[in-house]
């Protein structure tokens, strides 16, 4: 389908034609924008006025029961293209996706809306829209509060990569991790309601994509040094990451983890409780997050104070992936650098480069 044909097709999305024709047209657009074969049309959507018109009409049809699923499928496909994604965001798709994901009556469309939101937040325009960048006052508060409500529903979402994407920006980290509420300028004291707590819960999800999204989000948080204090202040963060690396095959003496979080000590005392992460890419994300914590004094001190290095030293003996083993070796080296003088740990210079 070229631009000329699209100019004719878009007329079939208007209210002047019957619902069955609109639905069939949405289906055709979804098919023509799918996969490698749809790359050309996706580019047209992002670079032409008729493409923008098509996107806006598809978004309107997401509210039409007869067209909603196929219209949304088309938008998910279209948003795979970077330029088209910006147009979809500009049309208000981020806000619609957030509203739909919070609407219990639209849960049958949750997978599509979560996929759309994940595609849109792969680009800075989508992240900015999600966190309300540029907004002020009540509008800013509404955007942040909507985002925080979304976090409390992540366990029910089939795709949480949008959360990882949001944490790549300073505004996303401020809203999600640091919990700065522009209305009160205060931090939540309720640990159970903190986004980090929800992320940590997802590391135990039976769904691979949820665990991947959570691990990626935690790694993205650790990439920002201003988030390290928040990460290590959550007593469960390092402990849960470590438990996802502990298997029943490797034994950690209880005497080696006296300072470790309770969840780690429980597994050390009863290895049969271990539930190691089976996917290599997720294990790598977790150890990368721990390595990134080594870049700051508070991060290195937290890894020392939780006996994380002892767990990692034992665990690496059973890890088959060489990249993970090298990463673990780097963590252990940095954490134990001042082992003879733990009070000085975290103040050693020259150890912050990755």
The per-residue pLDDT for range 132-167, each reduced to its tens digit, is 888 888 888 888 788 778 877 777 777 788 888 888
Give the mean pLDDT of 199-211: 87
pLDDT tens sequence across 81-132: 999 999 999 999 999 999 988 886 666 788 899 999 999 999 989 988 988 8
Look at residue 346 in the predicted model and tell me its pLDDT.
45
Three-class HEC string of 312-353: HHHHHHHCCCHHHHHHHHHHHHHHCCCCCCHHHCCCCCCCCC
Give the mean pLDDT of 338-343: 45
- The pLDDT-based confidence of 349 (bands split at 50, 70, 90) is very low
pLDDT tens sequence across 63-81: 998 999 999 999 999 999 9
Give the mean pLDDT of 13-19: 87
Instruction: Name which of 294, 354, 282 is nearest 324 in CA terms.
Output: 282
pTM: 0.75
Residue 162: C-alpha distances to residues 59, 98, 114, 127 (Å): 19, 11, 8, 9
- Better-scored residue on pLDDT, 144 or 349: 144
Which residues touch 157 (CB under 8 Å, ≥6 apart)? 101, 110, 114, 210
- Better-scored residue on pLDDT, 317 or 45: 45
Look at residue 248 in the predicted model and tell me its pLDDT.
72
Tally of residues, the chain: 354
Look at residue 281 in the predicted model and tell me its pLDDT.
94
Gap between the Cα atoms of 286 and 96, Å rounded: 32
pLDDT tens sequence across 228-243: 888 888 768 888 888 8
Look at residue 105 in the predicted model and tell me its pLDDT.
61
Gap between the Cα atoms of 280 and 323, Å rounded: 10
Q: Which residues of 266-303 are buried (b: 16+ CB within 10 A; e: fewer)?
A: ebbeeeeebebbeeeebbbbbbbbbbbbbbbebbbbbb
What's the whole-number average pLDDT of the chain?
83
Which residues touch 9 (CB under 8 Å, ≥6 apart)? 1, 25, 28, 29, 54
Structural Rg of the chain based on CA atoms: 23
Angle formed at CA 213 by CA 208 and CA 214, multiple of 5 degrees: 100
């Amino acid at each position: 389908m070229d631009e000329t044909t699209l100019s004719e097709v878009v007329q079939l999305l208007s209210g002047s034609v019957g619902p069955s024709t609109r639905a069939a047209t949405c289906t055709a657009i979804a098919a023509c924008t799918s996969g490698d074969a749809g790359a050309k049309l996706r580019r047209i959507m992002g670079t032409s006025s008729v493409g923008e018109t098509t996107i806006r009409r598809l978004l309107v049809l997401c509210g039409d029961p007869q067209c909603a699923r196929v219209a949304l499928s088309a938008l998910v496909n279209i948003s795979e293209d970077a330029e088209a994604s910006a147009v979809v965001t500009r049309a208000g798709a981020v806000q619609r996706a957030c509203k739909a994901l919070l609407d219990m009556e639209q849960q049958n469309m949750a997978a599509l809306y979560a996929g759309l939101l994940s595609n849109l937040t792969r680009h800075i325009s989508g992240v900015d829209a999600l966190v309300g960048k540029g907004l002020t006052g009540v509008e800013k508060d509404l955007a942040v509060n909507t985002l925080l409500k979304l976090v409390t529903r992540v366990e029910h979402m089939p795709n949480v990569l949008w959360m990882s994407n949001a944490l790549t920006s300073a505004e996303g980290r401020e809203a999600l991790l640091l919990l700065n509420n522009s209305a009160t300028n205060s931090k939540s004291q309720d640990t159970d309601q903190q986004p980090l707590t929800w992320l940590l819960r997802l590391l135990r999800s039976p769904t691979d994509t949820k665990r991947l999204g959570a691990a990626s989000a935690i790694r993205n948080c650790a990439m920002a040094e201003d988030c390290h204090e928040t990460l290590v202040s959550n007593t469960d963060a390092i402990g849960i990451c470590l438990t996802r690396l502990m298997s029943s095959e490797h034994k950690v003496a209880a005497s080696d983890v006296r300072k470790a979080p309770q969840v780690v000590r429980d597994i050390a005392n009863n290895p049969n409780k271990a539930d190691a992460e089976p996917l290599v890419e997720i294990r790598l994300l977790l150890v990368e997050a721990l390595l990134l914590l080594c870049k700051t004094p508070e991060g290195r001190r937290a890894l020392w104070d939780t006996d994380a290095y002892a767990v990692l030293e034992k665990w690496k003996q059973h890890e088959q992936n060489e990249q993970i083993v090298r990463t673990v070796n780097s963590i252990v080296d940095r954490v134990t650098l001042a082992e003879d003088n733990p009070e000085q740990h975290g103040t050693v210079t020259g150890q912050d480069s990755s």
